[in-house]
A and B are shown apart, each in its own frame.
Chain A
Amino acid sequence: MRKRLQARRLDRIDHNPWVVFTKLASECDAVNLGQGFPDFPPPDFAVEAFQQAISGDFMLNQYTRAFGYPPLTKILASFFGKLLGQEIDPFENVLVTVGAYGALFTAFQALVDEGDEVIIIEPSFDCYEPMTLMAGGRPVFVSLKLTPTKDRELDSSSDWQLDPTELASKFTSRTKALILNTPNNPLGKVFSKAELELVASLCQQHDVVCISDEVYQWLVYDGCQHISIASLPGMWERTLTIGSAGKTFSVTGWKVGWVLGPNSLMKHLRTVHQNSIFHCPTQSQAAVAQSFQREQLHFGQPSSYFVQFPQAVQRKRDHMIRSLQSVGLRPVISQERRMPDLPGAVDEPYDSRFVKWMIKNKGLVAIPVSVFYSQSHQKHFDHYIRFCFVKDESTLQAMDKKLQEWKDELGA
């Protein structure tokens, strides 16, 4: 074929780091602490909910309402309405998507135009940049920076902060949106109220839409509190809040996500949705609805999964911190789950080479944090690697074994 085949919107976005690392992980017999998903079962009530959805009314095998299975949109509206202190209409303010990934895509496609600027806080989940580019937008990066630790032995993700002046300087008349991720992947940072107020005031001052990726909202530790920026004064009207059933109920494979927001923005997401995938699968939506209904009954109580799960995962986090320290790696304590990082150990960023070496030689998989940075900033942050700790005890023990072997080799 003579013609150039692909559309120009695919330029610069065809590369995907996960493909490389997942492939490598599957080829080597390594303990996989790389890709972010649990290797233990979801809670029983979620599994039961799915069982019921598929053995119930056979019409659940057919299409449901395009913008979201009504019982799901209703429970999301009521559940998050309370959390955000906002009246949420299940039909105008809620859109169900194929994972939070699909929600992000829909938001970018709906609102970002050729030449629009999108502020991305680094390190960031790697899809924000290509999604901005695919929509013809211009990513504008601002980095979280480690402020010197006081007396603490270990860095905390809260020590990674935005410089307010620097952040303000990134806003221009072309800024269409800012994408916020709290709790943050990969750092685990939970943005404080003061930090969110700073972002909020700049968004309002410059009339910018805030896309708030809050998929890890339930996984906060050490008594930290997750705050949704949409709940701050003046923010509901300009915020799209994204959530994930996969991260909420440890069912990443169900690929159910959602967006909450004002109708003035949501109507544009609905237009993209009806012209891209139109409907999401029915039965998984029914299962998520039932799971939320269960959590609504248990909300705030010790029996709530949203209470138990972060407690269990915090223990895993602490286990991993100790294990990494024992071999001389210096983790950043996450206020959020999953992401102790590692400073330390020099084209292809150093951390990427390090990870490949580690997979092959030490039997441990992690993800280089430079994956979460734009190309121009990678060289400043190329000595961190990300471990996922939402893993079964047996996996963490296998990790300990590998780390011990590594330590013994170093000691020799």
Chain B
Amino acid sequence: MIPFHIRNTVDRLDRPSSYAASKYKKRKRDDGETDANRAPSPTLSEKLSDATTLYVGNLSFYTTEEQIYTLFSLISPPRRVVMGLDRYQKTPCGFCFVEFYTHDDALQCLKYIGGTKLDERIIRTDLDEGFVEGRQYGRGKSGGQVRDEYRDEFDPGRGGYGKAVKEGYGEEYR
């Protein structure tokens, strides 16, 4: 019999989401075994429990470091900001890492900044294990982020249509 346990009367915004766990999940088949609501694995939880880095997504390609600094300084001046770059063009491709001095600062961003606007776009913030050289590049086939490969909505701040759609080999991928 599971004992009753409740931490708070409403959900908390300062918990890690699927973002950090996603790279550890293997590609699944149709087995119904996946429990998306299960907490991240213990080692990942440990790593994130003192994470000071945030992944910030849904930026416009034109958002500058200074804008990022200004917004996140409302919590605390970041130690550094690493812009996410297109692997080939080496230009910003719509995400960044913001590293703070304390774990608490990072959690406060999740609570107070994530989901508000930067450069007039709603941004997404997530706890990240920490920046490592190489992680600043997009992992999509064309060099940007994966989400921009197949996107079929027009997004003027992120290069318009998804790369695959633009190039015209969209049909096979639908």
Task: Note whether A and B form a binding pair.
Answer: no
